[in-house]
Amino acid sequence: MSLRVIYTRTAPTPIGPYSQAVLVDTKFLYLAGQIPLDPATGTIVGTTIQEQTEQVFNNIEAILAAAGTSIEKVVKTTVFLTDLENFTGMNEVYEKRMKYAPPPARTTVEVSRLPKNSLVEIEVIAVIE
């Protein structure tokens, strides 16, 4: 098994001991959960679930591009929300950004807290072709 760490300055620097993404056997890319951080400042972008979800997808797409793949190659997502009342707002942005068919498999869960008190965190698994 071969592993390659993916890193780009166009996405936030990890705030802990983890990689932005890891490519396994040049086939599967596992992205760390992304919160709505501005890559330049490291601060949370937006106050609404929609604004924060947009920034999360900006970060995800930057990492996918650095690995040579795209949002269309995502096969699984996990969405973490601090309040399931935000599901509809998150889902509006999610549907707009994941506009291809078939959509990836997805799990959405409510958690008590996320890093930097963000409202949303999303992790993805993508294929490299």
pLDDT, tens only, 20-64 = 999 999 899 999 999 999 999 999 999 999 999 999 999 999 999
Question: Which CATH number is associated with domain 3-127?
Answer: 3.30.1330.40
In single-letter form, the type of residue at position 113 comes to R
Tokens standing for 7?
């890193």
What is the residue whose two structure tokens read 């900006």? 58
Mean pLDDT of 92-99: 96
3 state DSSP class of 61: helix
What global pTM score does this model have? 0.95
Q: Distance (Å, rounded) from C-alpha 86 to C-alpha 66?
A: 30
Cα→Cα distances 13→23, 25, 107, 111, 117, Å: 17, 24, 25, 23, 17
